[in-house]
Amino acid sequence: MDISLNKAELEKLVEIAIMAEWVMTAHDYEEEDGRRDDYIKLIQKIYAHASKNGMKKEIDFMDDIKEYMPNTDWEDQTQAAEFIREYEEKTFWDELIERLSDRDMNRKLGGKKAGSFEEHMAIYEEFATKYGEEFAENELENLEIKQAAKAKPATARPGKKR
């Protein structure tokens, strides 16, 4: 199978590969479970093809590891890098709001389930709206970790040394 790409399309394909590789490896690259192997091999083929077809300055071959890698300076200026930054930013706030809202909803319900889906959503939205407004206005400025109450130290039983 052959796909004919012009230089602009090839650059976009490389950027798609950059985003895919980032999703697979950004947080747990050291995890060697084999799930990513076929994808990484395909990404390497894309990078190699790009390097040999007009993107030699944008794609470096790393002799020490025998892999192609996008040139960092070029990569940082791509639309892919901008998409990744936007995704990380939005995901951070969405996850923070969702997790805090879930926590507070569960606390409010005392570990029980809401009576209906509508009740569940109303309680969740109450907290999500509160956190969404707070973070939109103040970001993390007012977020603090309160110190958990310290447990009393265990006392030694008579006749036992600690």
Which pLDDT does position 99 carry in this prediction?
96
Tokens matching residue 42: 């395909």
For 59-83, write each residue's pLDDT tens digit: 999 999 999 999 999 999 999 999 9
Which pLDDT does position 160 carry in this prediction?
46
- DSSP string covering 108-144, please? HHTTPPPSSHHHHHHHHHHHHHHHHHHHHHHTTTT--
Which pLDDT does position 80 carry in this prediction?
96
Buried b (16+ CB within 10 A) or exposed e, 97-122: beebbeebbeeeeeeeeeeeeeeeee
The residue ranges of the chain whose pLDDT is under 70 are: 29-31, 149-162
